[in-house]
Amino acid sequence: MDERTLRDLLARATAAEPPIGPIAGNALAAGIRLRRRRRIQGSAASVAAVAVVATAIPLLNGALGHTAPPVAKPTSPAPRALYVVNQNPGGPGTVTPISLATDTPGKPIPVGRQPLYIAVTPDGKTAYVSSIDTSQPVTPINTATNKPERPVDLGPGAGMMTITRNGRTAYVVVTGSQTQPGTVRPIATATNKPGKPIKVGYNPISIAVTPDGKTVYVGNYNTSLVTPINTATNKPGRPIRTGRGPDAFAFAPDGKTAYVVNQVDGTVTPVNIATNVPGRPIKVGKDPYTMAVTPDGKTGYVLNNGANTVTPINLATNTPGRPITVGGRPIAIAITPNGNTAYVVSYSATTPIATATNTAGPPIKTGNRGDGIVIAPDGKTAYVADSSKEFVRGGKLVMRPGTVTPITLATNTPGRPIKVGKDSYGPAALALVP
């Protein structure tokens, strides 16, 4: 089931509810996106995404607000597991832990209904999974035991989230609508206690924390505004006007600039983090989905989901380059730690792009339909999530569950797909666990 179908299902599922706002990865009135944009629209991803995703997502860190997947550093500790969020039809969602030593999946971990996004604390001890389930909006998972802990009660469903660099606080987008401002709830990770709701704009979708950890940015899709939140006080600041449909964030490695992807305008707006002053929007392509920045900070790559292209941006001059054609509906991107290659996941395949020349290489075919990607910190392996596939066999509707495919980056060779959940609509989101 593709992301747009999920978005429509989510919109229908929440349409009859009172004005609690968009509930998940992009839903309700604007019907944005879910899963590997892992974010929330109305209330949920990009989750994402999304989220999205998907996203999500990143996905979404991307996503999967939907935030571009963080660029892993070669000095980062080697991850021991990959957590995969699965959206299971007719029942609660699950998270499948995959041992990266053997590429084998473990026992699925139950979480809330229709999970959208996952975020892991920097110490790797706890993973948080957001869900539109009103009884289980956020589920903490003890990564040492792979056991879910008591759900964090935030209200009517949760969406995209981010965790501060010191690991002390998780920020989760919870509610919002076209007529009711949305909120962000801080969660103290030491106690898993939620704090007081922070009012932001209408239809908050994307959320991300700045590299210095001092500010959280929230994209308010319907108002063309981004709300900064001071993490020391949890107070919202003056909204920043960027462009229509602020839908994803990326950051310069030096921490001085935030890049806001505006989905409706087809632009990217640079924002000075020190002053929260926006610069001139950069025109990219149709329906931009997410953005990733090279480790040296010289180039940003924007996925144009509606144009099947990737737009490179010279970040020294904020000028866009010639769009690079990739597979249909590009949805996620990750850049290798050495910055030499960007891998773009689309519905049809994963396309490597040489960053030195901005040329696309031969597509890499993985599973059913690409939906998200993460790259191990050592730069040797990428893991691509492929969503489920539905088809008719013998007059009956059959679903092929989602998978995760490891790719050896030295040769761009895909390995054996790893099944991540029985009857799974996922993977909805991916996260490496150190």
pLDDT at 11 over 60: no
Average pLDDT, the chain: 81
Taking the CB of residue 227, how many other CB atoms lie within 10 A of it? 25
Q: Which CATH architecture has domain 3-433?
A: 7 Propeller (2.130)
CB 273 within 8 A of CB 228: no
Of 108-122, 282-296, 377-391, least confident by mean pLDDT is: 377-391
Place 33 in a pLDDT band, splitting at 50, 70 and 90: very low
CB 315 within 8 A of CB 252: yes
Greatest Cα pair distance in the chain: 62
The residues, ordered by sequence, that sit 6+ positions from 423 with a Cβ below 8 Å of its Cβ are 88, 89, 399, 401
Summarised one tens digit per residue, pLDDT across range 199-218 is: 998 888 899 999 999 999 99
| Per-residue model confidence (pLDDT) at position 396 | 73
Summarised one tens digit per residue, pLDDT across range 250-279 is: 999 999 999 999 999 999 999 999 999 999
Q: How far is Cα 115 from Cα 233, in angstroms, rounded to an integer? A: 29
Residues making up the chain, counted from first to last? 434
Q: What would the mean pLDDT of 318-336 be, rounded to a whole number?
A: 95
Of 96-105, 243-252, 268-277, 391-400, least confident by mean pLDDT is: 391-400
Q: Strand runs (DSSP E) across 305-358, as ranges?
A: 309-314, 319-320, 324-325, 332-335, 341-345, 350-354
**DSSP summary character for residue 240:** E
318 phi/psi in degrees, rounded to 5: 55, 40
The pTM score is: 0.84
Q: What would the mean pLDDT of 317-344 be, rounded to a whole number?
A: 96
Q: What would the mean pLDDT of 399-406 be, rounded to a whole number?
A: 83
Q: What would the mean pLDDT of 77-93 be, rounded to a whole number?
A: 83
pLDDT at 74 over 60: no
Q: How far is Cα 70 from Cα 273, in angstroms, rounded to an integer? A: 18
Taking the CB of residue 326, how many other CB atoms lie within 10 A of it? 26
Place 40 in a pLDDT band, splitting at 50, 70 and 90: very low
The residues, ordered by sequence, that sit 6+ positions from 148 with a Cβ below 8 Å of its Cβ are 109, 110, 111, 139, 140, 141, 142
Q: What would the mean pLDDT of 289-307 be, rounded to a whole number?
A: 96
Exposed/middle/buried for residue 254 (C-beta within 10 Å: 0-12, 13-18, 19+): exposed
Place 348 in a pLDDT band, splitting at 50, 70 and 90: confident
Q: How far is Cα 332 from Cα 388, in angstroms, rounded to an integer? A: 17
pLDDT at 149 over 80: yes
Place 13 in a pLDDT band, splitting at 50, 70 and 90: very low
Q: Which amino acid is at 246?
A: P
Q: How far is Cα 399 from Cα 409, in angstroms, rounded to an integer? A: 30
- What is the 3-class SS of 51-74, one letter each residue? CCECCCCCECCCECCCECCCCCCC
Q: How far is Cα 302 from Cα 283, in angstroms, rounded to an integer? A: 10
